[in-house]
Chain A
Amino acid sequence: MGAFEELYQRHNRRVYSLCLRMTGNVSEAEDLAQEVFIQLFRKIGSFRGESAFTTWLHRLTVNQVLMHFRKRGVKMEQTTEDGETPIQIVKGTENPNAMPVVDRIALDKAISQLPPGYRTVFTLHDIEGHEHEEIARMLGCSVGTSKSQLHKARMKLRGLLRQQKVKE
């Protein structure tokens, strides 16, 4: 148990942060981080060292969160469905307020307001640094969908960050 506690101490923040960014909810993130470490304990024997341990743990965490989304019936936004909110094209005079300088608190707040599908792709691509091909494999969607979701997520985030500034 001592060795496992060491693993927990070393990786709990990474796991929790990923869960938090993907769910946007502190208590859900805590429950998911707990479930990830329990799964890790059960499955650690199957880690074969073919990839870095952190990569393996990262995949385990992403899968756990995606499974949670599926159980909860969270709809991952699709680009082809009707009724999707179109991205507003910004014209020169529409919003005179410049986007505030991005900071951690503002960005985390805005990310938590994104729809789950956008949030997942944005987290995996821009925060965690995955390529679209990897994301498409993880989510079971096409590369085009991943790119499109990312674009929409970024544009939505931009709008949210601007709104935050207006409210201040």
Chain B
Amino acid sequence: MNCEKCQELVGELVDGALSPEDESTLTLHLEECLACSEVRNDLQSIVSFCQSHRGEYSAPPNETALWLRIRNVIETEVQLPATALPAQGFWSRWMSRSWELSIPQLAASAAAMVLIVSLGTTVLLRRWDNGAGKAPVATLPNSDAATRVRDRMREQQQAMDYWNHRVEANKVRWNQQMRDTFDRNVKALDETVNERLNELNRNPHDEFSEAMLNAALNDKLAMLRDFSDL
């Protein structure tokens, strides 16, 4: 047996997986060849070490933080089945992604979100004023429309209270710039919510305001979720 063949088989020898004939041939070679017997000894050390340390596990760098990340995602799925349902594919993909944003990136994203909401509001309001986006005549009776909005608000408010609580717990770790960014965005979204609510109080049939209110509430919820991870 030459060294090449021996070193091909030496792993199986260590595992005890060779036939008796191969084993005796190999053993003969190993008795004569120092290099191959060194390979056998080294592989034996590696395999023995692995076997004797089987069942020893290392902890993640921060077990608690990892658990909180997992709980965040799970609770989002459990708590918001109704809101998650229409956009499940998008949101589940979105939330399961691993986001590693720097503060400037985060601030830019938040600013972009506010800008999009504001632009959308402006454009739609203009179209509305020009008559282009005239709402269809409401088919629902007053009470149904109002109940729908109230239900939606109540459902969203529960979720927001939950995420707000998480954000408040994390806020102490934020620097001033981050707190300012968060407060500015919350303020902008709250203003939109209040404007649309006032509009709906005046005219409960206003489906445009209802849609804008829903969009602003969704944006706020998404923002709270993002900030609760930081």
Given contacts A4-B74, A38-B74, A92-B34, contact A12 B50 (CB under 8 A): no
Residues of B contacting A158 in the complex (Cβ-Cβ under 8 angstroms): 39, 42-43, 46
* Known contacts A1-B75, A87-B7, A158-B43; A129/B54 CB under 8 A: yes
- Contact yes or no, B43 A26, CB < 8 A: no
For the complex, would chain A's binding face be called helix, strand, loop or mixed by DSSP majority? helix
Q: Are B53 and A104 in contact (CB under 8 A)?
A: yes
Binds A, one of B64-72, B111-119, B120-128, B180-188: B64-72
A residues bordering B, Cβ < 8 Å? Answer: 1, 4-5, 8, 12-14, 16-17, 20, 26, 29-31, 33-35, 37-38, 41-42, 87, 89-92, 94, 98-99, 101-104, 107, 126-129, 147, 150-151, 154-155, 157-158, 161
In angstroms, Cα B98 to Cα A34, docked, is 10
Please give, as numbers and ranges, the residues of chain B lying within 8 Å of A94 by CB-CB distance.
35
- A–B complex contacts, Cβ < 8 Å, 19 sampled: A4-B74, A8-B70, A12-B60, A13-B60, A14-B57, A16-B66, A30-B60, A33-B60, A41-B74, A41-B77, A87-B7, A90-B36, A107-B49, A126-B47, A128-B54, A151-B8, A154-B11, A155-B7, A161-B46
Contacts of B161 in A (CB 8 A): none
A107 touches which of B8, B46, B61, B63 (Cβ 8 Å): B46
Q: Are the CB atoms of A150 and B66 closer together than 8 Å?
A: no
Task: Enumerate the 8 nearest inter-chain pairs by beta-carbon distance, A residue then B residue, closest first.
Answer: A13-B57, A17-B57, A92-B35, A102-B49, A126-B50, A99-B42, A16-B60, A151-B11
Give B45's nearest chain A residue, CB to CB: A102
B75 and A157 within 8 A (CB): no
How many Å lie between the Cα of A103 and that of B45 in the bound state?
Answer: 10
| Residues of B bordering A, CB below 8 Å | 3-4, 7-8, 11-12, 33-36, 38-39, 42-43, 45-47, 49-51, 53-54, 56-61, 63, 66-67, 69-71, 73-75, 77, 96, 98
Chain B interface SS verdict (over half): helix
A127–B63 Cα distance when bound, in Å, is: 23
A127 touches B43 (CB 8 A): no
Please name all residues of chain B whose beta carbon is closer than 8 Å to the beta carbon of A5 when the two chains form the complex. 67, 71
Q: How far is the CA of A20 from the CA of B50 in the complex (A)?
A: 15
Known A42-B77, A155-B43; further 6 A-B contacts with Cβ < 8 A: A13-B59, A16-B58, A34-B69, A38-B70, A91-B35, A151-B8
A30-B46 contact in complex given A38-B74, A90-B39, C-beta closer than 8 Å: no
Tell me the smallest distance from the CB of B123 to a CB of chain A, in Å.
38
Contacts of A34 in B (CB 8 A): 66, 69-70, 73
CA A161 – CA B77 in complex, angstroms? 46
Judging by beta carbons under 8 Å apart, are A1 and B11 in contact? no
Q: Once the chains are docked, how many angstroms separate the CA of A158 from the CA of B45?
A: 10
Q: Would you give the shortest CB distance from A163 to chain B, in whole angstroms?
A: 13
Contacts of B36 in A (CB 8 A): 90
Q: Are B58 and A17 in contact (CB under 8 A)?
A: yes
Cβ 8 A contact of A90, one of B35, B50, B56, B73: B35
Chain B residue nearest to A110 (CB atoms) is B46
Query: In the assembly, what is the distance between CA of A42 and CA of B74, in Å?
Result: 9
State which of A30, A38, A103 has its C-beta within 8 Å of the C-beta of B73.
A38
B46 touches A90 (CB 8 A): no
- Are the C-beta atoms of A90 and B74 separated by less than 8 Å? no
B7 near A30 (CB under 8 angstroms)?
no
